[in-house]
Amino acid sequence: MVSVDITARQNNANGMTRFRLEGSNDGTSWSMLRDSIPFVGATKTPQSFAVSSATAYRYLKMTALTGPTANTFLAEINVFTAKEK
């Protein structure tokens, strides 16, 4: 299993409230990994979101879908994968 940890900015909780994750091997053709994922901007610690590891991807795209303002911001995005045996 793969997980994506996203951390909100520490000084502003008005970022996105829902987002989508997509994966690609060529940066052009994208596959949906998860859609309309809830995100809590007031949470100051990393929020972890599981993603299936059935297919490997070279690129990850995160798209903010909704929020209280027209723009959004984050502090960090980290991707964790399981080591092959």
- Which pTM value belongs to this model? 0.88
Give me the residue spans of the domains in the chain: 2-80
CATH class of the domain whose range is 2-80? mainly beta
Q: How confident is the model at residue 53 (pLDDT cuts 50, 70, 90)?
A: confident
The Cα 79–Cα 71 span in angstroms is: 23
pLDDT exceeds 70 at position 84: no
CA atoms within 13 A on the CB side of 38: 3
- The token pair at 63 is 């798209």
Overall average pLDDT of the 71-85 stretch? 84
For residue 82, the 8-state DSSP code is P
CB 82 within 8 A of CB 1: yes
DSSP 8-state assignment for residue 11 = T
